Amino acid sequence: MKFILASQNPHKLKEMNDILSAHGIEVVLEGDVGLHVEVEETGSTFAENAMLKAKAVMEASGLPAIADDSGVCVDALNGAPGVYSARYGGPELDDAGRYRLLLENLRGQTNRTAHFISAIACIFPNGDTIEAEGICPGTIAFVPMGNGGFGYDPVFFLPQLKKTYAQLTPAEKAAVSHRGKALAVFEEKLKAYLAQQK
């Protein structure tokens, strides 16, 4: 089964395919089927934004679409950057600029607890939907560590592994991450949905 990923983010595509390809699911970027759908992420929750993205791409392509909306919520910042994680600090910042700003905003702060959330939404051309969510608790490191992954990975620290997301292999990250957990739930729900269709 093939899904169009409503995203411009190739890292998300790779993480999704690493997990879902073992189950006969292929995910391709919207750009791979000649689409570039601009979606305003106006939702107040990750789940709402994920469904907005998936629905727009399903409507534009007529094909099953899937989206991930994700972000990091920091307790000492009252949950920020949260749903604004991609836009934290404004459009001129890149990934490194955003995590440096986060470190700056936490300077002197001893409470570093945070969690990552991934909301996955999928919608079929007949309007049927499947939603899943995954959460990974952690802390915000004092300095960036590691070169793997993307986004805030170098500063998202997992106390139980004593490593940041960026210091994990892709398989290690998938085993504990917000997206890995959300995709595991999604996969189970998709299997149940497909079995019902038979």
Is 64 among the residues that bind ligand ITT (CB under 6 A)?
no
Written as one string, the DSSP assignment of 90-103 is -TT--HHHHHHHHH
Is 165 among the residues that bind ligand ITT (CB under 6 A)?
yes
Helix (H), strand (E) at residue 163: strand 163-164
Cα–chain center distance at 125: 23
Residue closer to ligand ITT by CB (options 130, 134) is 134
Q: Which of residues 92-111 bind ligand ITT (CB under 6 A)?
A: 95
Binding residue for ligand ITT, selected from 64, 71, 134, 138, defined by CB under 6 A:
71
Q: Of 69, 75, 95, 128, which residue is the catalytic one? A: 69
Q: 166 Cβ partners below 8 Å, 6+ apart?
A: 144, 145, 146, 147, 148, 149, 153, 154, 156
Interhelix angle 10-20/178-197, nearest 10 degrees: 60
Is 7 among the residues that bind ligand ITT (CB under 6 A)?
yes
Query: Has 95 been annotated as catalytic?
Result: no
Instruction: Show the site string, 117-156: x = touches ligand ITT by CB under 6 A, - = not.
Output: --------------------------------xxxxx---
Residue closer to ligand ITT by CB (options 8, 111) is 8
Residue closer to ligand ITT by CB (options 113, 192) is 113
Residue closer to ligand ITT by CB (options 130, 178) is 178
Is 164 among the residues that bind ligand ITT (CB under 6 A)?
no
Give the position of tokens 């991609």: 86
- Please give the C-alpha separations between residue 170 and each of 1, 31, 186, in angstroms, as whole numbers: 23, 23, 19
Report residue 128: phi and psi, to 5°: -65, 145
Q: Which range of residues in 8-16, 17-25, 103-111, 185-193 is near ligand ITT by CB under 6 A?
A: 8-16
Site of interaction with ligand ITT (CB under 6 A): 7-9, 12, 41, 68-71, 85-86, 95, 149-153, 165, 177, 179
Active site residues: 69
